[in-house]
Amino acid sequence: MTTVAQETAKAIRPFRVDVPDEALAEMRRRIAATVWPERETVPDSSQGVPLATMQELARYWATDYDWRACEAKLNALPQFVTEIDGLDIHFIHVRSQHDNALPLVINHGWPGSVVEQLKIIDPLVNPTAHGASEGDAFHVVIPSMPGYGFSGKPTSTGWGPERMARAWAELMQRLGYPRYVAQGGDWGAFVVDQMGLQAPAGLLAVHTNMPATVPADVDRALLAGEPPPAGLSEEERLAYEQLVRTFQQVEYAKYMAARPQTLYGIADSPVGLAAWLLDHNDADGQPAAAVASALGRTTSTTGELTRDEILDNITLYWLTNTGVSASRLYWEYKGGFFNAKGVTIPVAVSVFPGEQYEAPRSWTERAYPQLIHYNRLDRGGHFAAWEQPHLFVDEIRAGFRSLRTLKIPEPRR
């Protein structure tokens, strides 16, 4: 590659979403032409996403749902694309007006996208408009993972969390941020754990809302389907039981880890895609109780998850045809799930009650020896930023606050 080409590749190009009308018409046509299976034979969701749920969602999706509103929301934010490690990476980059703002890279997960993070951007960037102080301001960078949303789709293997972690470090460096922090949940949590392990120059700390804290002996017992090891505290035993439940609800993950390419239906059928994306669990159900209840919520003045937001995310997958490419991330990753990974840089942890498990403080302190923040919330779940944006923003501010006091010189007296 010539120097010129390198420069071009490394260029940061502005990006706007502009889906052709025909793509939207075609999507609606397909939804309206759906061939439905018969109803499930159970009165609950134990066979999968219920037919009535899907039919109600499809009716709204094909008629009143407005993608252009989501597109406008995205385009109101500065978006860019830059090539990293051979792949175009799409990202939102919103700089705070406050010079001392802390640069923060936020990683979404599956079945998510940058759509999950839209409500937290302004409070993080512009805290004074949201009842917080200037000292809590962040410059926010939200990339789309490779194979997701408007990022490129990898054409060769290897794009697991380790490689993404390196790419995000390069992105922050390219944006001119010599010191920054990182945040993630779901796959984003895997990525920030990897960033923590790689400890690139400039990474001050990470915040995770799906911490990987399970001690090795507990993890072994879990995977072997054994009873919990002796000597667990009550809190730890509860976490063990929660993990047992979670591992009974991850067939979707096992499927994508084994056979992502076979999921032709999530490329060809909007309803097939929507059902697949909806069937992710949280502590209170599969599909996630927080998502299931949001399907009945048309508006929210308090930032709670709504039906439109859920369809924004699903529609983004549809329009970018990323169902299969996103699934391949599960195939790429061969490591453990909630086992402690050995991160030694400073880590902030928020424990939401609807998460896959509630990481006990004891395990968290062992997993992350430089624990700078640990808090248990009383609301919110697996999609914390999406479900409880106010709480989530408070957690990010509190999680990283100790880092700033060190950086910002005290005024002389």
For the bound state, the minimum distance from the C-beta of residue 258 to another protein, rounded and expressed in Å, comes to: 4
Of 334 and 413, which has the nearer Cβ to another protein?
Answer: 334
Cα–Cα distance measured from residue 392 to residue 399, given in angstroms and rounded to the nearest whole number? 10
**Whether 312 contacts 237, CB under 8 Å:** no
For the bound state, the minimum distance from the C-beta of residue 38 to another protein, rounded and expressed in Å, comes to: 6
Of 38 and 99, which has the nearer Cβ to another protein?
Answer: 38
Residue type, 227: P
Of 57 and 84, which has the nearer Cβ to another protein?
Answer: 57
Which stretches of the chain bind another protein, using CB under 8 A? 34-38, 40-42, 46-51, 54, 153-157, 248, 251-252, 254-255, 257-269, 271-276, 278-279, 321, 323-325, 328, 331
Q: Is the peptide bond before 161 cis (omega within 30 degrees of 0)?
A: no
- 30, with CB counted inside 10 A (0-12, 13-18, 19+), is middle
Task: Catalytic residue, from 148, 240, 330, 368: name it.
Answer: 330
For the bound state, the minimum distance from the C-beta of residue 314 to another protein, rounded and expressed in Å, comes to: 13
Of 150 and 368, which has the nearer Cβ to another protein?
Answer: 150
Residue with tokens 């860019």: 80
Cα–Cα distance measured from residue 382 to residue 401, given in angstroms and rounded to the nearest whole number? 23
For the bound state, the minimum distance from the C-beta of residue 155 to another protein, rounded and expressed in Å, comes to: 7
Task: Catalytic residue, from 65, 98, 136, 186: name it.
Answer: 186
Cα–Cα distance measured from residue 189 to residue 210, given in angstroms and rounded to the nearest whole number? 6
Task: Catalytic residue, from 90, 93, 280, 382: name it.
Answer: 382
Cα–Cα distance measured from residue 215 to residue 365, given in angstroms and rounded to the nearest whole number? 11
Decide if 317 is catalytic. Answer: no
Structure tokens at 85: 């490690």
Query: What 3-state class would DSSP assign to 285?
Result: strand
Of 264 and 300, which has the nearer Cβ to another protein?
Answer: 264
Decide if 382 is catalytic. Answer: yes
Decide if 180 is catalytic. Answer: no
Catalytic positions, written as ranges: 186, 330, 382
